[in-house]
Amino acid sequence: MERFKQHVDKRVLFINNVLNPSVVARAADRLIANEIIDEYIFVSQHADNALEHFGLSREALGKGYNYSIAELVSIFLCSTKYLAHFSSDTTITEDVAPHWLSDATSLLAEQGEVSVVNLTWDQKYSEALKDSDYQDDNYFYGYGFSDQMYVIEVEEFNKKIYDFEHPASERYPKYAGALFEKRVDSYMRVNARIRATYRHASYIHKNFPKPNTIRRWIWTQLNKPQN
């Protein structure tokens, strides 16, 4: 997310569900030294406070806990007006302009019915159009939410809004239980809150084999030469 560097106050890496925190911290320290991130946070250190704040519990999240807690902690700890979230297996395509993030926050400020702004997923523009209810020159508008990538106003999401249910939200994978993105989708549908999906650029989401990918990432960071 280097291209957004001039348009954000802080770039924070949230570290969750790792076997060797000290090793991962050393790798994250290299990211700070190379000015790739500004800070890193271990999710487990703030999980209980975040759950209490949102009126949730590990039991309530069930199988969705590991798919939800990093997002909840990031919102709970966020001190800025807006939050841009990218999951660890999400990247942006070359056609995303550096100023897009500022444009996204401007849209949230100007259009009161919009709760979430995101890029189109995996260059599936026809699918994004099909999922929308209406559009303008730059965005598709409609229901839906993904935890892969989103821009939100923190005040709205830093409340106890995660206990809504909606039949359409049952489309989320059963193996993940009542996870964060399912809860957000339900909240938005019940309260007629919509998302705006950018029509002209995309993010790419790719699931990586976790053990090999993590080991490769740590090795790269620990062996990267200092600037």
Taking the chain, what is the end-to-end CA distance rounded to the nearest angstrom? 19
Exposed/middle/buried for 3, CB within 10 Å: 0-12, 13-18, 19+? Answer: middle
Contact between residue 28 and residue 13 where contact means Cβ atoms under 8 Å apart: yes
Neighbours of 132 (CB within 10 A): 19
Q: What is the pLDDT along the chain (227 residues), one digit of tens a residue?
A: 667 777 899 999 999 989 899 999 999 999 999 999 999 999 999 999 999 999 999 999 999 999 999 999 999 999 999 999 999 889 998 889 889 999 999 999 999 999 999 999 999 999 999 999 999 999 999 999 999 999 999 999 999 999 999 999 999 999 999 999 999 999 999 999 999 999 999 999 987 655 555 555 555 655 666 55
**How many whole angstroms separate alpha carbon 67 and alpha carbon 69?**
6
Per-residue confidence (pLDDT) for residue 224, from 0 to 100? 63
Per-residue confidence (pLDDT) for residue 6, from 0 to 100? 76
Spatial neighbors of 116 by CB under 8 A, at least 6 apart, are 145, 150, 151, 152, 184, 188, 193, 194, 195, 196
Per-residue confidence (pLDDT) for residue 26, from 0 to 100? 95
Tokens (6 digits) for 145: 């939410």
Tokens (6 digits) for 104: 């996204």
β-bridge mates for residue 120, sequence order: 202
pTM for the model stands at 0.89
**3-state secondary structure (DSSP) of residue 66:** coil
Per-residue confidence (pLDDT) for residue 1, from 0 to 100? 61
Tokens (6 digits) for 58: 């590990």
State the total domains in the chain: 1
Which residue matches tokens 């500022």?
Answer: 102
Q: Domain range for residue 137?
A: 2-223
Per-residue confidence (pLDDT) for residue 98, from 0 to 100? 86
Q: Is the dihedral of CA 118, 119, 122, 126 positive or negative?
A: positive
Which residue matches tokens 């050393």?
Answer: 26
CATH code of 191's domain: 3.90.550
β-bridge mates for residue 12, sequence order: 39
Do you know the residue count of the chain?
Answer: 227
**How many whole angstroms separate alpha carbon 91 and alpha carbon 78?**
22
| pLDDT digit string, tens, across residues 186-219 | 999 999 999 999 999 999 998 765 555 555 555 5
Q: Is the dihedral of CA 109, 121, 71, 55 positive or negative?
A: positive
Of 12, 90, 20, 31, the C-alpha closest to 220 is: 31
